[in-house]
Amino acid sequence: MTLSTTVRQQVLVLYLDTSALDSLVKGWARYDGTGRTRPTTGDSDEPPYRTGVEALLDGWRLFQAAQLIPPHPGAEHETSFLKHEFFFERLVETAAEPG
């Protein structure tokens, strides 16, 4: 019997301190299309990487970066969403389900 493999995507979302990939991670989310892990919000106190560059060095591929939108005049100090959002992916081979 020969085992076949298939490719699944893992996604890593990093929210950085600034728009620069070498700035510090402030928030993150992980999603695992392989089903090997089931990460959830708040499942760790430490980010998976200190910076976006560290994720690149570990083999993650950057596929989307947040567009740079200046704050509305007068709203520079208001609290809002985390705006420096970067999406990374890596493709992982997994054993295919028989059948």
- How many helices (DSSP H) and strands (DSSP E) are in the chain? 1, 4
Spatial distance between the Cα atoms of 10 and 32, rounded to a whole number of angstroms: 5
pLDDT at 25: 96
pTM: 0.78
Sheet-wide strand order for 5-16: 25-32, 5-16, 85-95, 61-65
What percentage of the chain carries pLDDT values higher than 70? Answer: 88
User: Is residue 80 predicted with pLDDT exceeding 70?
Assistant: no
- For 37-54, what is the mean pLDDT? 89
| 3-class secondary-structure state, position 55 | helix
